[in-house]
Amino acid sequence: MESSSLVSFCQLSNILAPKKVHNYRPLLKQRTSPSTTTLQCHKMYVPGFGEASPEAKAAKHLHDFFTYVAVRIVHSQLESYNEEAYAEMVEFLETHSLSDGGDNFVADLLRQSSTHKTLALRILEVRSAYCKNDFEWDNLKRLSIKMVEERNTKVMRDYVTETSTVNTETETETETET
Amino acid sequence: MESSSLVSFCQLSNILAPKKVHNYRPLLKQRTSPSTTTLQCHKMYVPGFGEASPEAKAAKHLHDFFTYVAVRIVHSQLESYNEEAYAEMVEFLETHSLSDGGDNFVADLLRQSSTHKTLALRILEVRSAYCKNDFEWDNLKRLSIKMVEERNTKVMRDYVTETSTVNTETETETETET
């Protein structure tokens, strides 16, 4: 019941949202070759990003993430080999948040004192090295695609399970009455 | 003055945080081959992610981002060819937020009505297609690395400019007094 309902949902989606919509592009944003005047992009139109492409927007989020990762790396390294600097880092983290943007955090750290300045420079160095050499970009793509597929299935499965349960209860009540 | 100060900062960073720290790995998280017992990873240790790797964490953020993009794509498509569905989507967006997670948004949309269900299925389909076929993963990597470099330079330049200005003002005051 469940798998056939899932299949029927997919078919329903295909019928009511024909494949041509996938290629419907009222306006095309040319993101890789701005100098050409002939628009030949076969991708879906993504509105609402202003001057930044979706990739640039995602890069901005990742930038803050890399700063967070760099802070964690440096924090861990200090804990192992430099107690004094570690204590300063911990104290600074208690009063300064990364949620306003990693650059503001690092800029404040840079201005705190000469020893804090060293930590700030270290964080800048680590985030650069991390995103270039350590972060597994292919793995990110693979995990992202996998996550979307799994979550799509889950959303539909939860819905089918819920509606199936409701239907079963309704049928049971009807049988009881007759 | 500015560029030489920037260079001196880089050198300071190199002196006070020797390169060997870059390779210091108290614990190694083996992320790609969990079955081997010999740890031979040459990457920096990234603590604090629990069961999820940094790539998995980043994928989770991107997942919500792709849902947002898919909503925008479908919203734009409806505006062009299905006024009724477009009006329903706009109304739903006014009362439901994507910030609690894209899956919750789609799950609510799925349960709203039969026409809303069609929109929800369409969003699921689009987000899957978008992340697999349209999103420019190589471009994301390139932009991310570029952004980190530019922001690193900016953070250091702003600091140098600020301290240079302070130094210049101090020197001017000293000259006036003598």
A28 CB near a chain B CB, below 8 Å?
A: no
- Please tell me the distance from the alpha carbon of residue B75 to that of residue B59, in angstroms, as a whole number: 24
Check residues A162 and A22 and name the one with the higher pLDDT: A162
Return the pLDDT at A137: 97
Can you read off the two tokens belonging to residue B136? 């420019």
- Please tell me the distance from the alpha carbon of residue B107 to that of residue A152, in angstroms, as a whole number: 10
Residues A102 and A63: beta-carbon distance below 8 Å: yes
CB contact under 8 A, B118 and A13: yes
The H or E element that residue B110 is part of is: helix B102-112
ipTM of this complex prediction, to 2 decimal places: 0.72
CB pairs under 8 A between A and B: 218
Instruction: Tell me the angle at which helices A114-129 and A83-95 cross, rounded to the nearest 10 degrees.
Output: 90
Angstroms from A104 CA to nearest CA on chain B: 9
Average pLDDT of the segment spanning A90-112: 92
Render each residue's pLDDT in chain B as its tens digit; 178 residues: 334 443 443 343 343 333 333 443 333 344 444 444 555 567 887 876 676 899 999 999 999 999 999 999 999 999 988 999 999 999 999 999 988 789 999 999 999 999 999 999 999 999 999 999 999 999 999 999 999 999 999 999 999 999 887 777 777 777 676 6
Angstroms from B173 CA to nearest CA on chain A: 23
CATH numbers and ranges of domains, chain B: 54-134 (1.10.1200.210)
Number of residues that this document lists for chain B: 178
List CB contacts (< 8 A) between B144 and chain A: 59, 62-63, 66, 131
Residue A139 has pLDDT above 60, yes or no: yes
List CB contacts (< 8 A) between A156 and chain B: 110, 121, 124
Angstroms from B4 CA to nearest CA on chain A: 16
Interface of B with A in 82-101 (CB under 8 A): none
Interface of A with B in 148-167 (CB under 8 A): 148-149, 151-152, 154-156, 158-159, 162
User: What's the maximum distance between 2 C-alpha atoms anywhere in chain B?
Assistant: 84
Angstroms from B91 CA to nearest CA on chain A: 18
pTM (global) more than 0.80: no
